[in-house]
Structure 1
Amino acid sequence: MLFNSIDFAIFLPVVFCLYWFVTNKNLKLQNLLIVIASYVFYGWWDWHFLTLVLFSTVVDYSIGVRLSKEKVILKRKLLLWVSILVNLGFLGFFKYANFFIENFVEAFSFFGYSIGTRSLNIILPVGISFYTFQTLSYTIDVYKGKLQPTKDFIAFSAFVSFFPQLVAGPIERATNLLPQFYKKRKFNYSKAVDGCRQILWGLFKKVVIADGCAQFANDIFNNSESYNGSTLFIGALFFTFQIYGDFSGYSDIAIGTSRLFGFNLKQNFAFPYFSRDIAEFWRRWHMSLSTWFRDYLYIPLGGSRGGTWMKVRNTFIIFIVSGFWHGANWTFIVWGALNAVYFLPLLLLNKNRTHLGTVAEGRYLPSLKEGISMISTFFITVIAWVFFRAENVTHALSVLQKIFSLEFFKTPYFNNGSLALPLFGFLVVFLFIEWMGRNQQYAIESLGFNWPKPLRISLYYSIVLAIVWGSKSPGGDFIYFQF
């Protein structure tokens, strides 16, 4: 079920009413309703894959219970590896089987051998990368003693399948989300209003910004051979805002929806395009995934505590694995490696934690140095996104070849140019609002609070009208559904 669909517009109020007016006196019943609603939400796409969610839930719940009773270190390690192998085994099969088969065949073809095989007809379950990492974090934290294993199967099932963030995050840690299912929740009007406000901003990002940019980015990338370098760069810019509006918009809707039910999810995006270097960008982009890889992969590998070789090795491992997590295509691996190249000089010069605060703190405008740093970081990010969006590495290189040529100075042109004018207007307004709200959890968190009520209501109606306008653009699934 899509957040930007009529189905969800009906589903959400029904679940909300049942949650607060029917099951509100019984915590276990509330949690059970969340489980049922989450399975309906996920099964709306394809109910067959509900068995995967249930199986993952049962496996990690059972292992958690066993870990609470087992004291022998060897057996505890064995239980941990069962969870890791089962979860990553399913993820690997559904997501990467065809990738490895195709590359295996190509490798033999390179040496003159022909292997008669073909790709498997595997459908990638929506959200498998997200709930797999979420359940894995639970087992690992229980194993390390950071979390007491739960014996409440309904609460754990609700944690795994919680519908607002089930299919595209944020990837919640059990230490943050699971305890919230143990506590009785009371309706908080101001919290619910804040949730609605964040949902509204998330829909604006998705429907107006992401879907609006998508129609131009798709046309330019799909017909890249017909466009010059300047147009291709604009196409890369469109995709840059598309993926941000799409993914951060989903996170905003997920976090806002969670607030309607009395839950607090962690911030997943912190205005990453205002970053002053690539290290700051990765502290602000898809924060739940970045911190997951940091805590469960980078630090166990030794982090940045070792010598230069270990720092370089670990940096490339975490970025390449992050790229591969996004998809079974060499473009994602190159994208990850390129970000590692960007990041490495900062790490080796001990400047990767230079910018920990918000840019232009307490000021309306950045300094000249900050402005140059932001533009430079944004530019290299746009270049990296070309690999993320391209069909294959050859396609990405052909696009970049045109961008970094004299064609860059030619006049840009693309189809439906007249439709781009209002979109450019919305992008300017969007960037302005994001800049003014960069100290907050989301851009319009406190926008208009001190305005007269009619003006404040006009602001929200304007956003709604913009969403209605944007809904005319061909939209659809969120980008990260495929990951």
Structure 2
Amino acid sequence: MILLSTVIDFVLAARIDSSQNQRTRFALITVSLVLNLVFILGFFKYYNFFADSINLFLGHFGVKNALPILHVILPVGISFYTFQSLSYTIDVYRRQILPEKSFLRFALFVSFFPQLVAGPIVTAKTFLPQLDTAKNLTQVRFRKAIRYFILGYIKKVVLSDNAAPIIEKIFGHPENYGTVALWLAATLFLIQIYCDFSGYTDMAYASALLLGYELPENFRMPFIARSVTEHWRRWHMTLSTWLRDYVYISLGGNRAGAFRHRFNLWFTMFIAGFWHGAAWTFIIWGSCQGTILLLEALYGSLKEKHFRDFRILPDKILAPIQIILTCFVSVAVGTWFRAESFTKGWTMLKKMFIYTEGGLRPYMLKTGIPVILCVIAGQWLGYFIFEKKKEWNPPVWFEFSFYPIIAVILALLTPDLELPFIYFQF
């Protein structure tokens, strides 16, 4: 599939660039969109979802199994490389870049292995120019790569994988647990998917650095965001950027009037939800995210128009409150992302907001609380390093002398179970 997608967009982009007829150019970009989104991504990822939904609907009228359910194996990373390849064709259509003359160079862009299966999503205009630069592994790059790889390993194996059994147990049977246990599981899941996904991208970033390439940043302390809008500027940033550039702006962005602007926000997040998976839970999750962004945009415009200089509290007090509220909303909405079905998701949310007791075990707190505290500490440390620019650069010998100690600690904290990266399924 990756070869087919690569060939399609390489050929069509060249034809688009060579054509001076706008109708022909539009027809060719439409062919690219249909082939990539309908026949490749749509068939492998969404056919069974639509077939099952249609069969369920027709079943109410006595029509049984109108469409067959296919046992199709989802190609690993299909959502990522389809978006990457498609962005190239769209950029050529928009005349933002020239088509790549070498098929091998373009194929390397689409299939670059460090980030192939789970991102970050790269675009041709940022990656292809790097093929023309000399590849020198400097001391600075090597040290940076080692740091990112260790950080990614800690996030994935020490934090995400240790929290996984608690999350699996509670999300699997939410009806058996009380409010505190459910909130703990929902909080741990948001942390799990952050550590799992950002851990992978950190290790992918490190691997690319060692090969002489630099991948785009994908996460930037999302748990210090003061609104859900800001959260999406810090969380899965390459997907947010892709959706902004190729969906939101294509719909008119904020240039099409207030109503269209807010609809475009909502629809873009709806697409984000559907991109993640062919299930109603993902659609609900994306719709909820879009509704929140819509409401925040509405509040922002009203505040700018009528209460620009009004301050409820000093910023030092208001900021922590906004951060806590944003995390609270993200945790609650995130239950739909992890829920195994609509019924289980709804059951969990009801019990989270209507107090009940039961199910909480000491081992859950013993594991869960340290994981939460580690992530909070990491966000705080990241804030000072990246936002306040207070990075510490010790001598090489001093830094490397700690690595054997870190290796022993990681070996002790690594759980016995082996879990795949969550985003491999997307």
Using the size of structure 2 for normalisation, the TM-score is 0.91
Question: 1:126 & 1:395 partners in 2: Cα distance?
Answer: 27
Unmatched segments (≥5 aa) in structure 1 = 1-51, 355-365
SS of alignment partner, residue 349 of structure 1: helix
Match of 2:393?
449
Question: 2:290 & 2:81 partners in 1: Cα distance?
Answer: 26
Match of 1:23?
none
Question: 2:48 & 2:198 partners in 1: Cα distance?
Answer: 29
2:226 is aligned, of 259, 272, 276, to 276
Distance 1:136 1:439, change over 3 A: farther
Question: 1:155 & 1:267 partners in 2: Cα distance?
Answer: 22
Match of 1:429?
374
Distance 1:385 1:271, change over 3 A: same
2:248 pairs with 1:298: yes
SS of alignment partner, residue 32 of structure 2: helix
Moved more, 209-218 or 427-436: 427-436
Question: 2:199 & 2:156 partners in 1: Cα distance?
Answer: 5
Question: 1:148 & 1:268 partners in 2: Cα distance?
Answer: 26
Superimposed CA distance per residue, residues 74-125 of structure 1 (whole angstroms, 9 cap, x where no aligned partner): 2212221221111112000000000000000111123444345541101111
Quote the offset at 1:353 in angstroms: 12
**Paired letter, 1:260:** L
Distance 1:87 1:116, change over 3 A: closer
Unmatched segments (≥5 aa) in structure 2 = 305-314
| Identity percentage of aligned residues | 38
2:418 pairs with 1:475: yes
Using the size of structure 1 for normalisation, the TM-score is 0.81
Match of 2:349?
400
Contact 2:162 2:415 in 1 (8 A): no
Distance 1:172 1:353, change over 3 A: farther
Question: 1:302 & 1:353 partners in 2: Cα distance?
Answer: 24
Q: How does 1:235-314 map to 2 (within 5 A)?
A: 235-314=185-264
Question: 1:420 & 1:467 partners in 2: Cα distance?
Answer: 21
Contact 1:346 1:352 in 2 (8 A): no
Question: 2:42 & 2:170 partners in 1: Cα distance?
Answer: 32
Quote the offset at 1:411 in angstroms: 6.4
Contact 2:81 2:110 in 1 (8 A): yes
Contact 1:279 1:353 in 2 (8 A): no
Quote the offset at 1:189 in angstroms: 2.3
Match of 2:309?
none
Superimposed CA distance per residue, residues 165-218 of structure 1 (whole angstroms, 9 cap, x where no aligned partner): 101111001100011112332222211220111011011100011111111100
Quote the offset at 1:340 in angstroms: 1.4
Q: How does 1:32-431 map to 2 (within 5 A)?
A: 52-88=1-37, 89-115=39-65, 117-350=67-300, 367-407=316-356, 410=357, 413-414=360-361, 417-418=362-363, 421=366, 424-431=369-376
Quote the offset at 1:427 in angstroms: 3.7
C-alpha RMSD of matched pairs (Å): 2.4
Contact 1:212 1:473 in 2 (8 A): no
